[in-house]
Amino acid sequence: HLSVTWTKRTAEFACYLFLIDLFPTTLLPSALYGFFTTLAGVLFGGNAGSFVDHPSRLKVIRINILLSKLAVTSLYTFLLILLTKYSTEAKLAGQTLAHGRHPTVWVLFTAIVLVSCVMKLSDIAMSVAIERDWVTTISEGSDARLTRLNLWMRRIDLGCKLVSPLFAGLLTSTVGNVPALIVVGCIALGGLGFELLWINVVWKRFPILATSRQRTQPQERAVPSSSKIFRHLLPLKNWATISYQDWNMFIHSPVFPSSLAISLLYFTTLNFDGSMISWLKTNTYSDALISGMRAVAVCTGLAGTAVMPVLEKRIGLARAASWSIWSEVFSLTPVIVSFFVPSSNQQGVKAPHWNQVLLFGGMAISRMGLWSFDLCQLKLLQKTLADHPRRNTLNGLQYSLQNVLDLLKYVMVIVLSRPSEFKYTAALSFGAVVAGACLYLIYLRRERGHVIHTEWFIGMKDKFS
């Protein structure tokens, strides 16, 4: 999992880094890259989850590892060709977008987007297989073991999210883009043997993983042999029918409101992603400050993984999730204030120090609630779907739902693309977080029959009366 996550996080950061260097005068290639890779997750995330439902767990993982390495190697190869042979043409292509010149550059860019879509789906399949299927199976119904495994999975993810961008940035700033690209490509490819070796170790260590699974498939209707056109359209029709049935099953599952709640948290620019970093740079914040604040936010996210089991032990899993997501809402409130107060804030100029404290401090503290809620919702999903025959398909659909909201975020940023309009994206993002928190209360009300313990208030009233 460490090797897979390192490769994913490095590619995730480095690809944007190289695209910005290739097209320094426009953000459109980077936006298109993010849009289409996210769209692939939206359209085919459920299918990636269905792939994990294959009876042979080990075969699925091996195929996915090979596919992932092929995709990431191809990605780095195409980037390397652009950087070494067409660097000047790429800069000119970015300046003359409307004229459609330099077709070779755009063919290579299209290839980069396509292999990145494959890599995105491979990442979804791997996440569903390891973080959802294998972890749930290995825990064997033990609540404590499931929590412990989830914690370490998230800590590995956050650790890679912290260190891999620093590593990639250090490489590009010291040895240059081309050597850095070669190094990260070799590391990714070198992880192939490492990942296959340790997957076999885990497989042999936990025989329960070899337990056969029954895979339920929607019944197919007979097709008249006379209709050639219909026969050609049958695969597409079957895919649409199965996707509709899966989504219908997911929407009507009891855990869906919590899935929608966490998905709404992806509709946000209030984190250190490309949109926020670009806005900060237009306001003359230094790279060192941005990197430092990003590191602080990851560290507070790691702290959230420590808080979650304590909350669960004291108040229960469902209430721990509620406390976590509402703590994120309250932590982001000063961040919104920093965008609109004082109203005399000028675009392109750093805000006052107290304003920076509200902005960076609120974002950092909110990561604690975010990752604590993420772990709570993950465990709720795992426990709810533990015995479901198509649990991996439903897990894949939650990834698709998250990608839908992520995709809408890109649309929001494209519409409100001027730096002076970024504060409105922040306000909409905050609204999405509040909506997610309210949705989770709906889920909590359905599951527990109440949201607030009235007995507690009565006890407090009696105590002080």
Residue 3, amino acid: S
Closest CA to 161 of 334, 297, 21, 343: 297
Let me know if residue 62 belongs to a domain.
yes
Closest CA to 29 of 100, 114, 109: 109
Check whether residue 207 and residue 295 sit in a common domain. Answer: no
For residue 153, what is the enclosing H or E element?
helix 143-174
Any idea of the CA torsion for 431, 436, 439, 445, to the nearest 10 degrees? Answer: -120
CATH code at position 419: 1.20.1250.20
Task: Inform me whether the pLDDT recorded for 8 exceeds 50.
Answer: yes
Closest CA to 4 of 91, 66, 50: 66
What are the pLDDT digits (tens) for 9-21?
A: 888 777 877 887 7
Last residue of a domain, one of 211, 239, 266: 211
At residue 316, the 3 state secondary structure works out as: coil
115-143 b/e (C-beta count within 10 Å ≥ 16 → b): bbbbbbbbbbbbbbbbbbbbbbbbbeeee
Check whether residue 155 and residue 266 sit in a common domain. Answer: no
Rounded mean pLDDT, 116-137: 83
**464 versus 310: which is more confidently predicted?**
310
Rounded mean pLDDT, 236-245: 75
Check whether residue 182 and residue 312 sit in a common domain. Answer: no
List, as one string, the DSSP characters of 204-234: HH-GGGG-------PPPPP--TT-HHHHHHH
Q: How confident is the model at residue 331 (pLDDT cuts 50, 70, 90)?
A: very high
Q: How confident is the model at residue 452 (pLDDT cuts 50, 70, 90)?
A: low
**184 versus 331: which is more confidently predicted?**
331
Q: How confident is the model at residue 215 (pLDDT cuts 50, 70, 90)?
A: very low
Task: Inform me whether the pLDDT recorded for 354 exceeds 90.
Answer: no
Closest CA to 198 of 65, 54, 8: 65
**293 versus 291: which is more confidently predicted?**
293
Of 88-92, 204-208, 217-221, 321-325, the range with the highest mean pLDDT is 321-325
Q: Could you identify the residue written with the tokens 């299927």? A: 133
| Residue 451 confidence (pLDDT) | 60
Task: Count, in order, helices (H) and strands (E) of the chain.
Answer: 18, 0
Q: How confident is the model at residue 234 (pLDDT cuts 50, 70, 90)?
A: low
d(CA 325, CA 244): 30
d(CA 331, CA 170): 31
CATH code at position 78: 1.20.1250
Task: Inform me whether the pLDDT recorded for 458 exceeds 80.
Answer: no
Q: What are phi and psi of 438, to 5 degrees?
A: -65, -40
Closest CA to 18 of 66, 77, 61: 77
Let me know if residue 61 belongs to a domain.
yes
Of 87-96, 360-369, 453-462, the range with the highest mean pLDDT is 360-369
List, as one string, the DSSP characters of 240-303: HHHHHHHHHHHHTSTTHHHHHHHHHTTS-SSSSSHHHHHHHHHTT--HHHHHHHHHHHHHHHHH
Let me know if residue 465 belongs to a domain.
no
Residues in the chain: 465
Last residue of a domain, one of 161, 177, 211: 211
d(CA 85, CA 102): 13
Check whether residue 268 and residue 207 sit in a common domain. Answer: no
Counting residues of the chain whose pLDDT is more than 90, the rounded percentage is 11
Structural domains of the chain, count: 2
Beta carbons within 10 angstroms of residue 192's beta carbon: 17
| Residue 427 confidence (pLDDT) | 94
CA atoms within 13 A on the CB side of 60: 25
Check whether residue 294 and residue 425 sit in a common domain. Answer: yes
Task: Give the range among 201-205, 309-313, 434-438 with minimum mean pLDDT.
Answer: 201-205
Q: What average pLDDT does the structure give for the chain?
A: 79
Check whether residue 277 and residue 357 sit in a common domain. Answer: yes
d(CA 283, CA 148): 42
d(CA 200, CA 264): 37
Task: Inform me whether the pLDDT recorded for 22 exceeds 90.
Answer: no
Check whether residue 187 and residue 305 sit in a common domain. Answer: no
Task: Inform me whether the pLDDT recorded for 357 exceeds 70.
Answer: yes
Rounded mean pLDDT, 332-339: 92
Task: Inform me whether the pLDDT recorded for 214 exceeds 60.
Answer: no
Residue 33, amino acid: Y
At residue 306, the 3 state secondary structure works out as: helix
Check whether residue 345 and residue 421 sit in a common domain. Answer: yes
Q: Could you identify the residue written with the tokens 């990851």? A: 298
Check whether residue 206 and residue 262 sit in a common domain. Answer: no
Let me know if residue 237 belongs to a domain.
no
Task: Inform me whether the pLDDT recorded for 329 exceeds 90.
Answer: yes
Residue ranges making up the domain that contains 358: 253-460
Let me know if residue 452 belongs to a domain.
yes
Q: How confident is the model at residue 220 (pLDDT cuts 50, 70, 90)?
A: very low
**Cα angle for residues 390, 393, 397 (degrees, 5° grid):** 140
Check whether residue 181 and residue 258 sit in a common domain. Answer: no
CB neighbour list of residue 412: distance below 8 Å, 6 or more residues apart? 267, 269, 425, 428
Check whether residue 415 and residue 300 sit in a common domain. Answer: yes
Check whether residue 265 and residue 147 sit in a common domain. Answer: no
CB 80 within 8 A of CB 181: yes
Task: Inform me whether the pLDDT recorded for 459 exceeds 60.
Answer: no
Burial status of residue 463 (CB atoms within 10 A of its CB: 0-12, 13-18, 19 or more)? exposed
Task: Inform me whether the pLDDT recorded for 433 exceeds 50.
Answer: yes
Let me know if residue 124 belongs to a domain.
yes
Last residue of a domain, one of 146, 177, 211: 211
At residue 427, the 3 state secondary structure works out as: helix
